[in-house]
Amino acid sequence: MSANRYLPAASYAALTIPTILTQHGLKPFISRSVLTETERGAAWLFVVVQVGPQEHPEDYAAPDVLHDISTALQGLPIVIGNSGGVRYAVLLGSPNILKRLDRF
């Protein structure tokens, strides 16, 4: 398996997430992005955001923020975790999703 076929979509998502966060008045510091693929071919992009001491992690998980990220990514599923910072997980890898992302 090779996650390389997801690189254009992953790059687009990795650039879009901080843009949306900034539009919501947040100050994202992306510490890393990781693209991985499961044995069954599902591709996930993990975007790790470091939240400053004066910021509130829950602001990054607000429903309107998640909605706007998903909308900007044409409805891709977004999952969020907040252990050790904020982590967004974007599911890139189903055939239906890939068809929508071909134009990126």
Residues ≥6 apart with Cβ < 8 Å to 95: none
Query: In angstroms, rounded to a whole number, what is the distance separating the alpha carbons of residues 66 and 80?
Result: 9
Distance in angstroms (rounded) separating the CA atoms of residues 101 and 47 = 18
pLDDT, residue 2, reads 66
* pLDDT bucket at 28, cuts 50 / 70 / 90: confident
Note whether 10 and 17 are within 8 A (CB).
Answer: no
- Tell me the pLDDT tens digit for each residue of 55-99: 888 999 999 999 999 999 999 999 998 777 799 999 987 644 445
Q: What percent of the chain shows pLDDT beyond 90? A: 58
Q: Average model confidence (pLDDT) for the chain? A: 85
Spatial separation of the C-alpha atoms in residues 8 and 93, rounded to whole Å: 12
In the CATH scheme, what architecture does the domain 3-101 have?
Answer: 2-Layer Sandwich (3.30)
pLDDT at residue 32 greater than cutoff 80? yes
At 23 the pLDDT is: 96
Mean pLDDT of 31-35: 93
